[in-house]
Amino acid sequence: MSNHKELTQIYLDANATTPVLPEAASAAMAAMQTLFGNPSSSHITGLKAKDLMEQTRRRAQTLLGTGKGKLIFTSGATEGIQTSILSALIAAKPLVDAAPLSADKSYCVLYGATEHKAIPESLKHWLSVLDIKAEVIAIPVDEYGILDHEFISQHAANALMICTMAVNNETGVFQDLQLLEQTIRTANPSIFWMVDCVQALGKTQLDLQTTTIDYAPFSGHKLYAPKGIGFVYIRDSAPFTPFIAGGGQESGLRSGTENLPGMAALNVIFDMLLRSEGSAFSNTQTLHRFRQQIVTTLTECFPRIVFNNSFEHSVATTINFAVPSFSSKEIMDLFDAANIRVSSGSACSSKVTRSFVLDAMGLPAWQSESAIRMSFGPAMTQADVDTACARIKMASQALTQSCMVLAHNKISDKTQLEGLLQLRSGASCTWVYADSKSKQALIIDPLPELQQRLDTLLQCQQLTPIAIIDTHGHADHVSGREVLANRYLAEQDSDMLGWPYSSKTVSYAGAELEAISLGDLQLIKVPTPGHTSDSISLMLCSTNGEQPSTKYAFCGDTILMGSLGRTNFDSSSSVALFNSLKLLNRTLKADTLICASHDYNNEFTTTLATELSRNTLLKAVLQDQLSQTDFVKRKAELDSHLNDQTGSEIMCGAYIGSCDKSAILEYDASSLAKAIANNAGVKVIDIREPHEYVLTRSKDPNQNVPLTRLVQFIHDHQDQKDQPWVLVCRSGSRSMVAAQAMHRLGFAKISHLKGGYALSH
C-alpha cells in the first residue's frame, strides 16, 4: 500500500519488550559467528565461549550483589519463576505432609495481587502437580499498588512461600523491599521469598546479598538483550531442584547447551549498567525528566487525562493513564496511526480489555478499561522524547480536527459533519444525524458513556440539537438523554422519551403521525410497542416526493440485527411486538436501512430483506405464516434462552445470525497491487477513523469511510452493490468486520486487506 504515509516509529512499550541495543546485537552476532563454541567443549573455541559465559555471570553477580548466592542462566523470567516456585514447593512438601494444620486451617502460598500472571498460574500449577494442599492467596494492594503489610503479617505464619515483585510491569510501582523483608521475616523467618525483579533491572539498585530474598528471576528482553535469555538468583541457603535435567550444564542446575549469543548480549548490557561513564543508559534523574516532559505534553494535549500510577511510587520509565470518554482501543489506534507504540489494558495479553492490576488497586472501572501504558527504557534519548512529544501533539490535533476533543483555539480545518454517525459504547449504539446546512442535529438513544463525546461534537461542529430522543425506556442502561437535554434543550417541552410536544402531524404509510423537521428532512414517530410498551420507531425521511421516503429507520430494540427485541420485561408484550412487526413491514421498503440501538455482532445496520433471509421467525410473521398465538409461544421459548448477562450487558434480543468469513475475498499487499493494476474498478477504502486517517494520509489518499460513517456510506451506495471495493484498516480486523457487514447487505464484491496497513509496508 504505497500511498500510505509512514512516520518513523516511536517505541514506548519497553515494559513489554525492548529492541536489542546495537552494541548488544553486535556482541550476539559475534557469539554466533566467531565465538560460537559450546562452553562444554574443551578445545580453544569452547574455552573462549566458556570464558565469555563466566565473565557475563561475574558481571551480573557484581551488578546485583549476589554474594554467595547462585546465578543461573535461563531462557527468560518465566523459566526462572518455575525454577524458583518448584524448588520452594518441593522443599515445603515434607512439612505439609508431616504436619498438617488443624482441620479448619490450611497452609497457603501468598502472592501480590498485581503480580505478573506467570506467578499465580505457576503456583497453582506446581501445587497441583506436587499434590500439595495449600490455598493460593492474593495479597491486596492499596490505591498506589503498595502491598498490604498487615495482610502479610496475618497470613505469613501458615504460608509456604511468598511471591512479590520489585517493580510492576503495568504501573512501574515499586515496593520498599527492606520494609517488606521486615514484615515477612517478623511473621515467618523461614518462609521462601521470591521477588520478581524483571522490571527492576536497570531501573533500581539491587544488592541481593544484603537481603533474605531466596529467589529473584530476571529477563533479558526487557533490557535490550534478545528474547530467550534470562537469569535467576538463588540465595545460598535456599533449596534448589533443577527444573531441566540433562547434560549437566550450569553445574547441573540447569541443563541444555547454553544460549551464548544471549549471554554475549547481556554481557554488554551489564557492562553498560556497571559503567559510570560512556554508557548508552541515562541516569535516573534524566529518566525522571523525560517522564515529566511526556506527562506535561500529555496533559496539554488531553486536559482531562487521569494518571493511573502515582509517580512518587513508580520507577521513572512508566506512565499509565486514561482519557475520559476514550477507550484504550481508540487511543491505541490513534497512537499507532501517529506511529507511537504503546500498550493497553493488561499489556501481556492483547485480548484482555481491562487491567487486573488497576482493578486490584481499586481504580474506577473506566480507568481500568481505558488504561494506556507508555514505557521506555534507560536507553531513551532526549531526541526520542522530543519526537514522542511532537507526535503526541500531532495525534491530539488530529482528534481535535475530527471533533473528538475541543481545541483551546478554534480549529478552522475541522471536517464538517454531514449525515449519519453511528457511535457506540460496547454493543450499544447512539445515532447522530447532522444537517450541516441548517446546523441542526438529531440524537437518538444517547448513551451516558458518550455524553462527553456528544457534547464535544455538538460544540465543535456548532450544531444545535432539534431533539434528543430515546426509542424506548432502556432496561439495560440509564439513558444519557436527560443530561444532554438539560444542557441543549432546556426550553423544549417533550415527553419521557424526549419527543417534543411541538411536533406536527403528517401522513405516513396510511396513518396520521407526529413529525418534526430536521433541515429538509422529517423525523416521523411510529409507535412500535412490544419490547417495551413505550417503544417507538423513528423514521428519518426525505420529503421531495408526495410521500415521505424513509432514509433510515431507527427501530430501537424492535428489530435487531439477527434477532427481535426481547419481550420478557414487565412492560413487554409479544402480542404488541407481533403487530408492530407487521406495521413496520407495511411501512418500510425491503432495503430501508434499519438502525438498531444494539449491535451485538458488529453488523452496523440491517434491512428487512436481510432479516427475512435469515430470521425464520420474522419471516413467518411477515409472510403471514404464523398466528399471533403461535408467535407468542415461539417468542417466549426464544426469550427463555436469553442470557441475562453477556459481560456487563443485558442482551436485548437473541442472536440467531452467523457470519461466514470465507465469503469475504482477502487480499495481501501484493495480490491487491495486482488486482488494482488489472482492474481499474478496484478501489481502496480506508475505514479507519478520520483522526487516524489524517495522521497517515498521503498526497494521493484512499477514500476515507470510518466505521462510524459506514451506514451512511451503505445508504449512499445501495445502487452500487457490484463495486469491487477493498476495505483497509490498521490490522485487518475492522476491515473484515465491515466487509462482512456489507457482504450481508448484498455488496457481493466487497473484500479487505488481510493484516491491514500494519503488514503492507
Minimal distance, residue 234 CB to ligand PLP, in Å: 17
Minimal distance, residue 180 CB to ligand PLP, in Å: 16
Joined together, the cell numbers standing for residue 144 give 498506589
SS3 assignment, position 264:
helix
Q: Which is nearer to ligand PLP, 219 or 708 (CB)?
A: 219
Q: Which stretch binds ligand PLP (CB under 6 A): 73-81, 95-103, 123-131, 136-144?
A: 73-81
Q: Can residue 688 be called a binding residue for ligand PLP (CB under 6 A)?
A: no
Q: Which stretch binds ligand PLP (CB under 6 A): 194-202, 447-455, 519-527, 727-735?
A: 194-202
Q: Which stretch binds ligand PLP (CB under 6 A): 76-84, 319-327, 577-585, 704-712?
A: 76-84
Minimal distance, residue 758 CB to ligand PLP, in Å: 22
Active site residue 541: no
Which residue in 90, 348, 509, 665 binds ligand PLP (CB under 6 A)? 348
Give the ranges where 356-402 is alpha helix by DSSP (H): 356-360, 365-369, 382-401
Beta carbons within 10 angstroms of residue 228's beta carbon? 14
Q: How would you list the strands of the sheet with 428-435, edge to edge?
A: 419-425, 428-435, 440-444, 464-469
d(CA 441, CA 479): 18
Q: How many CA atoms lie within 13 A of 570 on its CB side?
A: 3
Q: Can residue 370 be called a binding residue for ligand PLP (CB under 6 A)?
A: no
Minimal distance, residue 461 CB to ligand PLP, in Å: 43
Q: Which is nearer to ligand PLP, 77 or 526 (CB)?
A: 77
Residues 609-668 binding ligand PLP (CB under 6 A) are none
SS3 assignment, position 65:
coil
Q: Can residue 196 be called a binding residue for ligand PLP (CB under 6 A)?
A: yes
Element (H, E) at 578: helix 574-587
Minimal distance, residue 112 CB to ligand PLP, in Å: 10
Q: Can residue 697 be called a binding residue for ligand PLP (CB under 6 A)?
A: no
Minimal distance, residue 416 CB to ligand PLP, in Å: 45
Which residue in 165, 469, 526, 593 binds ligand PLP (CB under 6 A)? 165
Q: Can residue 369 be called a binding residue for ligand PLP (CB under 6 A)?
A: no
Q: Can residue 118 be called a binding residue for ligand PLP (CB under 6 A)?
A: yes
Q: Can residue 219 be called a binding residue for ligand PLP (CB under 6 A)?
A: yes
Give the ranges where 601-696 is alpha helix by DSSP (H): 608-612, 616-622, 628-640, 669-678, 690-696
Exposure of 67 by Cβ count < 10 A (0-12 exposed, 13-18 middle, 19+ buried)? middle
Closest CA to 433 of 496, 494, 523: 523
Q: How far is CA 208 from CA 60, 67, 78, 236, 702, in A?
A: 11, 8, 20, 11, 57
Amino acid at 306: V
Catalytic residue among 163, 197, 301, 348: 348
SS3 assignment, position 7:
coil
Q: Can residue 213 be called a binding residue for ligand PLP (CB under 6 A)?
A: no
The total number of residues shown for the chain amounts to 761
Q: Which stretch binds ligand PLP (CB under 6 A): 133-141, 196-204, 250-258, 603-611?
A: 196-204
Q: Can residue 77 be called a binding residue for ligand PLP (CB under 6 A)?
A: yes
Which residue in 66, 199, 327, 550 binds ligand PLP (CB under 6 A)? 199
In terms of phi and psi (left: phi > 0; alpha: psi -120 to 50; beta: otherwise), the region of 263 is: alpha
d(CA 718, CA 551): 11
Q: Can residue 556 be called a binding residue for ligand PLP (CB under 6 A)?
A: no
Q: Which stretch binds ligand PLP (CB under 6 A): 19-27, 74-82, 262-270, 574-582?
A: 74-82
Minimal distance, residue 192 CB to ligand PLP, in Å: 18
Q: Which is nearer to ligand PLP, 219 or 567 (CB)?
A: 219
Q: Which stretch binds ligand PLP (CB under 6 A): 71-79, 336-344, 360-368, 571-579?
A: 71-79
Residues 19-48 binding ligand PLP (CB under 6 A) are none
d(CA 41, CA 50): 9
Q: Can residue 320 be called a binding residue for ligand PLP (CB under 6 A)?
A: no
Give residues with Cβ within 8 angstroms of 397, minimum separation 6. Answer: none
SS3 assignment, position 126:
helix
d(CA 326, CA 753): 26
Q: Which is nearer to ligand PLP, 199 or 339 (CB)?
A: 199
Q: Which stretch binds ligand PLP (CB under 6 A): 24-32, 192-200, 299-307, 683-691?
A: 192-200
d(CA 90, CA 244): 15
Q: Which is nearer to ligand PLP, 80 or 500 (CB)?
A: 80
d(CA 621, CA 616): 9
Q: Can residue 187 be called a binding residue for ligand PLP (CB under 6 A)?
A: no
**Secondary structure letter of residue 157 according to DSSP:** G
d(CA 526, CA 508): 9
Q: Which is nearer to ligand PLP, 122 or 396 (CB)?
A: 122
Q: Are 653 and 557 in contact (CB under 8 A)?
A: yes
d(CA 239, CA 234): 8
Minimal distance, residue 196 CB to ligand PLP, in Å: 5
Q: Can residue 230 be called a binding residue for ligand PLP (CB under 6 A)?
A: yes
Q: Which stretch binds ligand PLP (CB under 6 A): 195-203, 270-278, 373-381, 513-521?
A: 195-203
Minimal distance, residue 3 CB to ligand PLP, in Å: 37
Minimal distance, residue 161 CB to ligand PLP, in Å: 16
Q: Which is nearer to ligand PLP, 78 or 400 (CB)?
A: 78
Q: Which is nearer to ligand PLP, 13 or 23 (CB)?
A: 13
Q: Can residue 169 be called a binding residue for ligand PLP (CB under 6 A)?
A: yes
Q: Which is nearer to ligand PLP, 262 or 465 (CB)?
A: 262
Phi, psi dihedrals of residue 494, rounded to the nearest 5°:
-145, 170
Question: Binders of ligand PLP: how many residues, by CB under 6 A?
Answer: 13
Minimal distance, residue 259 CB to ligand PLP, in Å: 12
Q: How far is CA 305 from CA 210, 399, 506, in A?
A: 41, 14, 48
**Secondary structure letter of residue 370 according to DSSP:** T
Q: Which is nearer to ligand PLP, 118 or 753 (CB)?
A: 118
| Per-position DSSP letters for 26-62, written without gaps between them | HHHHHHHHTS---TT--SHHHHHHHHHHHHHHHHHHH
Q: Are 137 and 110 in contact (CB under 8 A)?
A: yes
Cα torsion angle, 204, 208, 211, 217, sign: positive
Binding mask 464-493 for ligand PLP (x = CB under 6 A): ------------------------------
Q: Are 251 and 97 in contact (CB under 8 A)?
A: no
Which residue in 4, 116, 354, 598 binds ligand PLP (CB under 6 A)? 116
Q: Can residue 198 be called a binding residue for ligand PLP (CB under 6 A)?
A: yes
Q: Which stretch binds ligand PLP (CB under 6 A): 35-43, 72-80, 234-242, 602-610?
A: 72-80
Beta carbons within 10 angstroms of residue 324's beta carbon? 14
Q: How do 318-322 and 372-375 pair as beta strands?
A: antiparallel
Which residue in 37, 39, 69, 76 binds ligand PLP (CB under 6 A)? 76
Minimal distance, residue 297 CB to ligand PLP, in Å: 26
Give the ranges where 34-142 is alpha helix by DSSP (H): 44-64, 77-98, 118-129
d(CA 188, CA 519): 76
Minimal distance, residue 203 CB to ligand PLP, in Å: 12
Active site members: 348
Interface ranges with ligand PLP (CB under 6 A): 76-78, 116, 118, 165, 169, 196, 198-199, 219, 230, 348
